[in-house]
Amino acid sequence: MRIAVIGSGYVGLVAAVCFAELGHDVLSVDSDHDKIALLRGGQVPIHERFLPELVNRHRGKRLCFSTSVTEAVDQSDAVFITVGTPQSETGEADLSFVEAVAQEIASAISDFKVIIEKSTVPVRTCESLRKTLLLNGARPDSFSVASNPEFLREGTAVTDFLYPDRLVIGVDDAASASLLSSIYRPLTDGSYYRQESAIPFVGYAHAQAPIIVTDTKSAELIKHASNAFLAMKISFINAVANIAEFVGADIEQVSAGIGSDSRIGTKFLNAGIGYGGSCFPKDVQAFRVVAEHCNYEFGLLTEVIRVNAEQRSRFLKKVRNALWTLRGKRLGVLGLAFKGDTDDIRESPALEIISVLLKEGAYVCAYDPVAIPKAKEVLDTNRIFYATDPYTAASGCDAVLILTEWKQFAQLDLEKLRSVVKHPIVIDGRNLYRPQEMARAGFVYHSIGRPVAIPECMSFDGESDSMHRESAIRFATTG
C-alpha cells in the first residue's frame, strides 16, 4: 500500500515508520524543512525507543520524507492526517492545522484517495473534513474520509503501535473499511509477529491484533472518552491519596487493593503530582467543551481537571512545610519531562512546580536524562542550573525533589545521595521508594498519600504525635 502521513510529530513520525515496518511504502510529510532534513539524514528529533532503529532500517527504501503535501497525495492511496490539534483559548481543540492540510489535499487529488484523520479531534470532525475537501474543489467521488484514532503512549509509542490493545477504524463506506483493513492486516492476521526482524515485545496477550470497526463519529468519541477516563483514574487515586495521607494510611497499599479488582485494574492508579503531557490536559478540556456544545454539563471532567491542578499546589505545600521558607534554598530536582522515557516537556508538572519554586526565590539544580535541552528553551535561566547526573543535581542541596518517574531515579545509590546533600530531605512526587527504606538510609522522606518517614536517629521516645514529627522534620532542615 502507498501511504502518506502528513505531520511528523510524535504521532505522525511513529505512524510513518511503523507503517513502513509493516511493509508499506510511506512518504512522511512536514512543513518544517529543518526537521525533514534531519530525518533524511537519519537523525530523529524526538526521544522514543526503537524509533531511530526503524527510521534507519527503512529510510530511503520504504520510508521517504518530503515537505510537499501535493507530492504526497499524488503518490499515495491513503493519506493520514497527524498534525497538531492544540488547545485554543476557549478550551476547544484548534483544528486550523487540520483544515489547512485538508485544503492542500483537496487541490492535489487527481484520483481516488482515502483521507484518514489520526489526530485527536472532537466528534464530527470527519464531517467537517469532508465539507472542507468539497468546498476546496475535491470531487465527491474522488475521496472518502475515515477516522483511525491513535492510542500511543510517549516512551512506548512504537510498541503501542505494533502491539495494540485494539485497533479502532471509524468508517462510513466500504472503500475506507477495505483499505484500512488491508493496511493493518500484518497485525490483525498476526503475520508481523512471526517475522524474525519484528520489534520485540514480551508478554503481548494477542496472537492477532484485535480490530474494532465503527462509524466515524463513534471512533472520534472513543479517543476522547478513553483519554478522559484514564485522566479520571489518575485524579481519582490522587484524591484518595489526599485522604490516605490525612488519616495515616498508605496509598500504595490502597491502590493495590483497589487495582486487584479485575473490573478496575492496576494501571493509572499511581498517586503523584498529576497528569501532564500533550494529550490528557487538552483532551479532557476539549471533551468537556464538546459536552457543553451538546447541552450537557460534564461536571465529572471539571472535577478531574480541578483535582489534577490541586496536586501541584499540594506538592508545593509539602516543599514549603519541609523547608519552612524557600527563598535562598537550593533544591535538587530530578526530572523535567512530563513522564519517564520521553523528552516531551509539554504541560509537564515538573516544569510548573519548578517555575513556582523559582518565583519564590529558590535555587534549582535540575537533572533529566533527555529533557534538559527542551527545558532550557522554556524555563527562566535565573537561579536554575543543570546537572549531568542525579548526584551532582543533589550536591549541597537543602532538599531533593523527585518529579519524573524515570527508572534510574528509582534505583539511586541512597548512601551516595546521603553523602552529597546538605540536608537529608527527599520530597518524592512519584512515590518511587518505600518510606521505611528511605528512613533507614537516613532521609526524612515525604511522598504522596503516605506518612512522612523519619530516621530513627531523629525520632522521639514515646508516642510519635504530629508535634514530635514536625520537630523531627525541622531538625533535619536546621540541624
Query: Residues with catalytic annotation?
Result: 279
The 10 Å Cβ neighbour count of residue 310 is 15
CA distances to 92, 146, 322, 429, 439 from 455, rounded to whole Å, are 49, 59, 15, 20, 4
CA distances to 26, 30, 79, 183, 394 from 19, rounded to whole Å, are 7, 17, 12, 8, 43
**Residue in this structure with the C-alpha cell 531533593, named with its chain if needed:** 400
**Residue in this structure with the C-alpha cell 469532508, named with its chain if needed:** 130
The 10 Å Cβ neighbour count of residue 375 is 20
Grid coordinates of 323: 523547608
Task: Please check whether residue 148 is in contact with residue 168, taking contact to mean a CB–CB distance below 8 angstroms.
Answer: yes
The strand pair at 444-446 and 25-29 is best described as unpaired
Write down how long the chain is: 479
DSSP string, 444-458: EEE-SSSPPB--GGG
Integer Cα distance of 292 and 298 in angstroms = 7
> Comparing C-alpha atoms, which of 216, 97, 210, 244 is closest to residue 146?
216
- Largest Cα–Cα distance of the chain, in whole Å? 84
Integer Cα distance of 335 and 350 in angstroms = 7
| Torsion angles phi and psi, residue 363, rounded to 5 | -105, 135
In the Cβ-directed half-sphere of 423, how many Cα atoms lie within 13 Å?
A: 24
Kindly state the helix (H) or strand (E) to which residue 318 belongs, with its residue range.
Answer: helix 299-323
Task: Please check whether residue 77 is in contact with residue 3, taking contact to mean a CB–CB distance below 8 angstroms.
Answer: yes
Alpha helical stretches, state H, 199-250: 216-247
Integer Cα distance of 192 and 185 in angstroms = 9
Integer Cα distance of 18 and 28 in angstroms = 11
> Comparing C-alpha atoms, which of 228, 211, 138 is closest to residue 171?
211
Alpha helical stretches, state H, 363-422: 372-378, 390-394, 414-420
